[in-house]
Amino acid sequence: MVSLIKSVLRSVELYLKLRNKLAFSDITEKHNKRKHELIEEIEKLRSIGDNESNDRADFLRGQLLTENKQFKHISAVFVEAEGGSADSD
């Protein structure tokens, strides 16, 4: 009976780990897509070259930096939750 309970608990643990990895994979994919879209839009606006386009490109650059910081934080939390070191430096 005890081994059955241990087995069920281990199965639940493995399921939750897999679910977390899949969620992180989804977050990573969305981040990369959003990052690519922002970079393309910034490059398009910079090629126009007028003041309004440059202002909009600067704003999007700020969004890109924010997006990268948020993703770095999420990555650190995920690595920490997995039992690794969140220090990437």
Would you say 46 and 57 are in contact if contact means Cβ atoms under 8 Å apart?
A: yes
Give the separation between CA 13 and CA 34, rounded to whole angstroms. 32
Give the pLDDT of the chain (89 residues) as one tens digit per residue: 889 999 999 999 999 989 989 999 999 999 999 999 999 999 999 999 899 999 999 999 999 999 999 999 999 988 887 776 555 54
Ranges of each domain in the chain:
41-81
Give the separation between CA 77 and CA 12, rounded to whole angstroms. 21
Sign of CA dihedral 66, 56, 31, 40: negative
What pLDDT, on the 0 to 100 scale, is given for residue 82? 77
Would you say 42 and 57 are in contact if contact means Cβ atoms under 8 Å apart?
A: yes
